[in-house]
Structure 1
Amino acid sequence: MISLSLIRKSDLWYSFTRSRSAMVAAIVLAMLILTAIFAPLIAPQNPYDPAQLDMWKSELPPIWDQLGEWPYVLGTDTQGRDMLSAILYGTRISVVIGIASVALSLLVGLSLGLVAGYFGGVVDNLLMRFGDVLLSIPTILIAILVSTVVRQMLPPELRDVGSSAVLVLAITLSGWVQYARTVRAQTIVERSKEYVQAARLLRVPARRIMVRHILPNTLTPIMVAATLNFGMAILTEATLSFLGIGMPPGQPSLGTLIRIGNQFLFSGLWWIVLFPVLQLCLLVVSVNLLGDWLRDALNPKLR
């Protein structure tokens, strides 16, 4: 295992401690994720449990308003759902979908990028031309198409249960191309180097050469892309849920909460939409700030 002393002596840690924006973003992101993970222990109620919703407590303003009530710190929505609880649980859904979609996109993109760059020829042309077709279509349109088609293929009783899996699949289909193109370019450079040629002469299997030798040398730009795409995946999920083809109202993500609150924006219930929007902004901005810092820290030309 890597000791803490080695981490503190690394260039990456030195760059992190010298960047105030990165440190603030890391603290904010850690707080958002930890509060989402421990939502059952922090939240006043479970917003997924209809038995805990009280219609008599609906449309309560935040606690600092004279009409606010404890423990509804951020008020309630039209169903008596505590907004703080809904935001914490919704953040957990958005973060899980973002992590799962980025991880699956990484798996697909790394695999196809290594194969295309190492073997070249017809395999490379087929994979990259398919990727070019996907890149020519806006990401959100691909996600909407995949989400709508897959949802219609599922039985009605499974559509709400499988909403998160459908969203992950939709985001992955439009997100793997960037990783594949980056890894392919790096693989083409690495495959002509002497250590790869020596491994070929020793009849090392191609799969081992790609995984053990080439892949580690392609991970630096991939780490930066994955960090930035994590924020984009959260935004894509929020957009799909806002359009009504993402998470159902019974399992609200941040996008679902914003869609519900938007219906009451001009009726004076501003807190129903404002607080989920602020949570989404904090989450995405903190991820993007970390991604920008990581891109600069791993760029040898800026050292």
Structure 2
Amino acid sequence: MTTVPAAPPVPEKRSTVRDFLSSRPIQKLRRNKLAMLGLLVATLFLLVGFFAPLIARPSAGSNCVRDLGASSPQEIANPLSGVFWKAHFAAPDSCYSIERESFSPTPTPPSEEARFGTSQGYDIFYGLIWGTRTMFKLSFIIVGITLVVGVIVGAISGYYGGWIDNLIQRFIDVLFALPGLVLTIILITFLKASNPGIDPSLPIILAYTVTGWASYARIVRGDVLRTRQLEYVDAARSLGARDWRLIRRHIIPNSLASVLTLAVLDLGTIPLSIAALSFLGLGFPTGYAEWGQLVDFARAWLQPQYWYVMVYPAAFIILFSLAFNLFGDALRDAYDPKTR
């Protein structure tokens, strides 16, 4: 009787997501309780920013409700209505104007109308909730642009070397020689003065992009200098791969660990800088939902009976920054080869 040989076992198809979650850095990150706490708090802030139209719903008759095309604020809570999706994904600028309960400069304590009280007549709760969305929007745009520019410039500098590398690095040295905050203030002031009526977020984004890409470029350059000497890069080059293909497919993907951890940390520090600009009067116009303005409103009322005008904005700023710093520090340690 002839026996039929058994078919060779079919290799189990590995999942990319499973491999990622079971990798050593992610396992180390998951064991870090402070990192998980930071990720949890950051996620809560992200949800608060996204669901701001539901958490701090505009009042009836406000410009926000009018510009959304709603007949009543209740339509914002109805997912079957187009107003719901417009409020969450394309809210008009009028929705970012803090609702004003009165024109009295004297703060009023928390109540049903203003859960966190008022400061200069503005609803603190509304300003903080919609300000969370403002901070996330600016942080993601600024970090995204500076990261892309820094990665491209750093990869070119590290890969080609020679006079190209020398020229780029000397320009970066000039940027680092200038105080970052001072340069940002100068750029914002110049852009606002030369373009009156411009969207207030554009000068902030441009100024932070000009001053922020250099740190990413220098880190990527260092990683590229190491990566371009590896064997698989030489093998791809010997097979005829062109420079841009080598940079895009082989060098950049293996040189991003350090710079991505820095980007996570910047997501928590950039809102602090933007709040400082608003505190100095260089940020958004008065009444715009932004945390720095609420701190500025509280300067004249630092008295025990008006504790709420400073405590709530300060708590949002501190928790937001702390969350991203806890997670970013743990992420950097997890991907640091020296700690493995």
TM-score of the pair, normalised by structure 2: 0.79
Aligned residue number for residue 72 of structure 1: 114
Name stretches of at least 5 consecutive residues in structure 2 with no aligned partner. Answer: 1-13, 65-93
The Cα offsets for residues 34-93 of structure 1, whole Å up to 9 and x where unpaired, read as 11211110114369567953318973212xxxxxx21422111222x3211110111211
- Greater fraction of residues in helix: 1
Equivalent positions of 1:173-184 (< 5 A) are 173-184=210-221
Are 1:236 and 2:273 counterparts?
yes
Tell me how far 1:285 sits from its aligned partner.
0.7
**Structure 1 CA distance, aligned partners of 2:16 and 2:204?**
38
Q: Is the 8 A contact 2:294 2:313 kept in 1?
A: yes
Equivalent of residue 227 in structure 2, options 190, 213, 237: 190
Aligned residue number for residue 225 of structure 1: 262
**Structure 1 CA distance, aligned partners of 2:159 and 2:29?**
35
Tell me how far 1:7 sits from its aligned partner.
4.7
**Kindly tell me: are residues 273 and 131 of structure 1, through their superposed partners in 2, closer, same or farther at Cα, counting changes over 3 Å?**
same
Aligned residue number for residue 10 of structure 1: 23
Q: Is the 8 A contact 2:101 2:118 kept in 1?
A: no
Tell me how far 1:278 sits from its aligned partner.
1.1
Q: Is the 8 A contact 1:87 1:254 kept in 2?
A: yes
**Structure 2 CA distance, aligned partners of 1:51 and 1:152?**
25
Name stretches of at least 5 consecutive residues in structure 1 with no aligned partner. Answer: 63-68
Q: Which runs of 4+ in 1 moved over 4 A?
A: 1-8, 46-52
Q: Which amino acid aligns with 1:88?
A: I
Aligned residue number for residue 209 of structure 1: 246
Q: Which amino acid aligns with 1:53?
A: R
Are 1:59 and 2:107 counterparts?
yes
Say which SS state the counterpart of residue 118 (structure 2) adopts: coil
TM-score of the pair, normalised by structure 1: 0.88
Q: Is the 8 A contact 2:224 2:255 kept in 1?
A: yes
Tell me how far 1:216 sits from its aligned partner.
1.0
**Structure 1 CA distance, aligned partners of 2:288 and 2:168?**
36
Larger of the two Rg values belongs to structure: 2
**Kindly tell me: are residues 52 and 227 of structure 1, through their superposed partners in 2, closer, same or farther at Cα, counting changes over 3 Å?**
closer
Q: Is the 8 A contact 1:44 1:82 kept in 2?
A: no
The Cα offsets for residues 267-297 of structure 1, whole Å up to 9 and x where unpaired, read as 9533222211110010001100001110111
Tell me how far 1:202 sits from its aligned partner.
3.2
Aligned residue number for residue 33 of structure 2: 20
**Structure 2 CA distance, aligned partners of 1:286 and 1:88?**
17
Aligned residue number for residue 298 of structure 2: 261
Equivalent of residue 131 in structure 2, options 90, 93, 112: 90
Q: Is the 8 A contact 1:113 1:180 kept in 2?
A: yes
Q: Which amino acid aligns with 1:61?
A: P
Tell me how far 1:189 sits from its aligned partner.
1.8
